[in-house]
């Protein structure tokens, strides 16, 4: 639900506490920067969207709508933010104009009554957004930032009005109006809120950019003619045509034609990628050179771009563990400030020097004005929105904010080999028939590998098709991750997979095939217990693998290679990449056990993989990192997904995560330190010995400055360039 009226951490705490108490609500999270309330609940007769809206609105906030995805409601929130910025701009301009007369009334020789008349619209209209918040806080018997500001300005306004009209009833030393406090508090805090809203809007730029440039229509081929249709009107399986210079409308496979595609929108990689029949293309990317026909594989709502926007929105709305602690502190913050301010005013009124009334009022107003739950509430969400938005632009997607703490603590990075350190596109360099003909070997291999997702399967299929082979009929299929596949064809059991697995199934492998010094990886084929032959495959290391390992090592991380391939293949690749520690010949479940063993040594483990076989290890790791070129199951199991094929982006993603966490801690430290230091100063702690008194106007300026500093510090993340630190 997009909600207007959320301004500080106290608002967050109230909404989360109230909504979470409803029966059937599983979780509730308030994204203060995005003004969104995200609720996961179990629908009941007495709990639905209407009841959730009512619960929030009873607290005095306005629910602008609701939806089942972040993208659906973010537009409403963004529009509300634009309207709020417009209102704040007008309010700020008028308040600043009126403040000139209140601050310079003596110099301009204005009558005290004229100044009072000018103060009325400033106090009532200029500060209306604060007074409205006070009204709602009284209705819900709670307090927030608006409560503090409104009480401060009303105290100053009413005292100044009293001094203006009844000066003889006030001691001579206390006959000082507080119009500068009224003007300073309303104008400066409104300015802080305006600047904060502008900065907050900029932190959303990355996702807003993705949404703005997402394609709206495609050229669908129907009846042999091109028809321009909205994305929602095109079905999976239809053919769309993309001309040079146009956006690819939907995710799909190239049916005909060849071209180069600019995929920088998704991957951050500026170099175009060549595409030919059978290649994947993604909605939102730019077709550069040739015309292509694309078979649609996913509807627009499930395209890679749509899922990325949704994932980034959800991640930006999530909270790290430290923010949950800050929210608990903020929930008690405003009531504590009200108690401190009231107690301070009483102490000055009872025991302070003359003018006691002036000192008591000034202390009360300054304490209320200087306390800033805004900074506490914005410290984490602004850093997360800015940092995760920047990561998305660079092609790195982090599942949620809680993972930032785990990513920042990583000690060990474990790489899978095939498709991760290598391209994952091995080629068959030789076929070795052992029994029967080559045609028979190819026929059974095709039948088995047509349904497999392993990179070896694609290589064998390409080799067999090039040789003109036809697949044998398949009556049954079963995959054994990390080992191979089993089919039944013509009543016979056919196994294709690693030689070690075939041996374990009772297949006798000829010594000349299983020679340890023989280069390349092997895929064996057996029918019943007879070994038909094998294919020799070779893969190529990614050109950025060595640099990626170097960067990770320079960051102080241990890098390990795990592979189900033979020892000779794994160690040769590790040497090329600069990796010292290797686990070779391991099965998928053994990869997960290796991760657990490292964790038992007290290490925080990141696992990098891309295949079906890697999903168990990715799930067991503290941080699972998947390459977007991999399988959907690996991506679903991962906590971080890297779209860019450049492996150095792994180090960039980890560094950016660490930087986001560091900015969060900086923001929280300064937000807490600011209040710890300035509240006693505002209460007059330095006045008896040093004669230092924090005037209300300066207290208001300091309050605005704290929120602005948090926003600007977070905004630095938008300029992160991915270079080594």
Active-site positions? 416
Q: How far is CA 25 from CA 9, 291, 327, 502, in A?
A: 21, 51, 19, 52
What residues contact residue 204 under an 8 Å CB cut-off, 6+ apart? 33, 34, 78, 385, 389
E strand segments, 43-196? 62-63
> Angle 128-139/145-165 helices, nearest 10 degrees?
110
Nearest residue to 702 (alpha-carbon basis) of 198, 71, 185: 185
Query: Distance (Å, rounded) from C-alpha 278 to C-alpha 291?
Result: 15
What residues contact residue 465 under an 8 Å CB cut-off, 6+ apart? 446
Question: What's the per-residue H, E or C state across 348-395?
Answer: HHHHCCCCHHHHHHHHHHHHHHHCCHHHHHHHHHHHHHHHHHHHHHCC
Query: Distance (Å, rounded) from C-alpha 439 to C-alpha 194?
Result: 74
Query: In the 8-state DSSP scheme, what is residue 60?
Result: T
Contacts of 113-120 spanning 24+ positions with Cβ under 8 A? 113/164, 115/164, 115/177, 115/179, 116/160, 116/161, 116/164, 116/165, 119/157, 119/160, 119/161, 119/179, 119/182, 119/183
Q: How far is CA 195 from CA 90, 113, 316, in A?
A: 13, 33, 21
**How many residues in total does the chain contain?**
725
Query: Distance (Å, rounded) from C-alpha 214 to C-alpha 209?
Result: 8
Residue 16 in contact with residue 327, Cβ under 8 Å? yes
Residue 618 in contact with residue 638, Cβ under 8 Å? yes
| Sign of the alpha-carbon torsion through 102, 105, 110, 112 | positive
Residue 534 in contact with residue 522, Cβ under 8 Å? yes
Residue 627 in contact with residue 396, Cβ under 8 Å? no
Query: In the 8-state DSSP scheme, what is residue 247?
Result: B
Query: Distance (Å, rounded) from C-alpha 7 to C-alpha 591?
Result: 47
> Angle 179-203/70-103 helices, nearest 10 degrees?
150
Number of other residues whose CB lies within 10 A of the CB of residue 562: 25
Nearest residue to 717 (alpha-carbon basis) of 327, 211, 205: 205
Query: Distance (Å, rounded) from C-alpha 322 to C-alpha 723?
Result: 27
Nearest residue to 578 (alpha-carbon basis) of 544, 606, 627: 544
At 519 the three-state DSSP class reads coil
Burial of 428 (C-beta count, 10 Å sphere; 0-12/13-18/19+): buried
Residue 449 in contact with residue 489, Cβ under 8 Å? no
For the record, the structure tokens of 207 come out as: 């996702």
Query: Distance (Å, rounded) from C-alpha 425 to C-alpha 645?
Result: 13
């Amino acid at each position: 639900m997009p909600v207007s009226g959320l301004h500080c951490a106290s608002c967050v705490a109230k909404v989360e506490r109230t909504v979470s108490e409803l029966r059937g609500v599983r979780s509730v999270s308030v994204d203060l920067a995005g003004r969104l309330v995200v609720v996961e609940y179990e629908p009941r007769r007495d709990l639905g969207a209407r009841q959730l809206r009512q619960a929030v609105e009873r607290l005095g906030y306005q629910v602008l709508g609701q939806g089942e995805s972040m993208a659906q409601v973010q537009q409403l929130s963004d529009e509300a933010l634009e309207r709020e910025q417009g209102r704040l701009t007008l309010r700020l301009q008028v308040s600043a104009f009126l403040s000139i007369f209140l601050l310079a009334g003596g110099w301009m020789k204005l009558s005290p009554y004229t100044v009072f008349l000018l103060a009325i619209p400033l106090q009532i209209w200029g500060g209306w957004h604060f007074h409205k918040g006070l009204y709602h806080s009284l209705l819900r018997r709670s307090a927030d930032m608006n409560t503090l500001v409104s009480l401060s300005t009303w105290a100053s306004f009413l005292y100044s009005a009293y001094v203006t009209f009844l000066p003889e009833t006030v001691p001579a030393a206390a006959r000082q109006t507080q119009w500068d406090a009224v003007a300073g508090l309303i104008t400066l805090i409104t300015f802080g809120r305006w600047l904060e809203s502008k900065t907050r809007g900029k932190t959303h730029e990355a996702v807003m950019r993705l949404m703005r440039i997402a394609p709206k229509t495609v050229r669908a081929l129907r009846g042999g003619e091109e028809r321009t249709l909205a994305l929602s009107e095109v079905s999976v399986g239809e053919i769309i045509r993309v001309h040079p210079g146009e956006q690819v409308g939907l995710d799909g496979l190239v049916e005909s034609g060849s071209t180069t595609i600019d995929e920088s929108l998704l991957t951050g990689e500026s170099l175009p990628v060549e595409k030919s029949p059978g290649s994947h293309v993604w909605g939102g990317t730019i077709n550069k050179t040739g015309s292509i026909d694309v078979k649609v594989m996913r509807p627009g709502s499930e395209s890679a771009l749509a899922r990325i926007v949704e994932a980034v929105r959800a991640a930006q709305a999530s909270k790290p563990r430290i923010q949950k602690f800050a929210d608990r502190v903020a929930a008690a913050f405003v009531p504590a400030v009200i108690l401190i301010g009231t107690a301070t005013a009483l102490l000055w009124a009872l025991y302070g020097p003359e003018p006691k009334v002036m000192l008591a009022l000034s202390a009360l107003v300054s304490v209320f004005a200087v306390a800033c739950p805004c900074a506490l509430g914005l410290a984490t969400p602004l850093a997360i929105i800015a940092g995760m938005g920047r990561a998305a632009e660079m092609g790195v997607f982090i599942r949620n904010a809680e993972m930032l703490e785990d990513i920042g603590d990583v000690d060990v990075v474990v790489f899978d080999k095939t498709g991760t350190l290598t391209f994952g596109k091995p080629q068959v360099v030789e076929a070795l028939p052992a029994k029967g003909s080559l045609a028979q070997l190819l026929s059974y291999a095709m039948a088995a590998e047509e349904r497999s997702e392993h990179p070896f399967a694609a290589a064998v299929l390409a080799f067999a098709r090039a040789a003109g082979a036809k697949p044998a009929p398949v009556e049954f299929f079963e995959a054994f991750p990390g080992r191979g596949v089993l089919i039944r064809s013509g009543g016979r059991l056919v196994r294709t997979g690693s030689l070690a697995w075939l041996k374990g199934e009772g297949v006798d492998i000829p010594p000349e095939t299983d020679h340890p010094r023989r280069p390349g990886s092997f895929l064996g084929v057996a029918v019943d217990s007879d070994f038909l032959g094998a294919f020799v495959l070779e893969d190529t290391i990614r050109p950025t693998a060595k640099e990626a390992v170097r960067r990770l090592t320079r960051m102080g991380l241990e890098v390990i290679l795990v592979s189900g391939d033979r020892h000779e293949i794994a160690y040769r690749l590790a040497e090329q990449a600069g990796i010292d520690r290797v686990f070779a010949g391991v099965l998928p479940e053994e990869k997960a056990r290796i991760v657990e063993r490292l964790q038992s040594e007290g290490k925080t483990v990141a696992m990098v993989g891309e295949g079906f076989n890697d999903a168990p290890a990715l799930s067991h790791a503290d941080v699972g990192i998947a390459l977007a070129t991999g399988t959907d199951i690996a991506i679903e199991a991962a906590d971080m997904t890297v779209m860019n094929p450049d492996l150095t982006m792994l180090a960039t993603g980890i560094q950016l995560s660490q930087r986001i966490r560091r900015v969060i801690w900086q923001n929280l430290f300064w937000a807490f330190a600011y209040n710890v230091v300035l509240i006693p100063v505002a209460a007059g702690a330095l006045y008896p010995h040093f004669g230092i008194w924090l005037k209300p106007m300066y207290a208001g300026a300091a309050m605005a400055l704290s929120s602005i500093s948090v926003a600007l510090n977070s905004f630095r993340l938008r300029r992160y360039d991915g270079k080594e630190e």
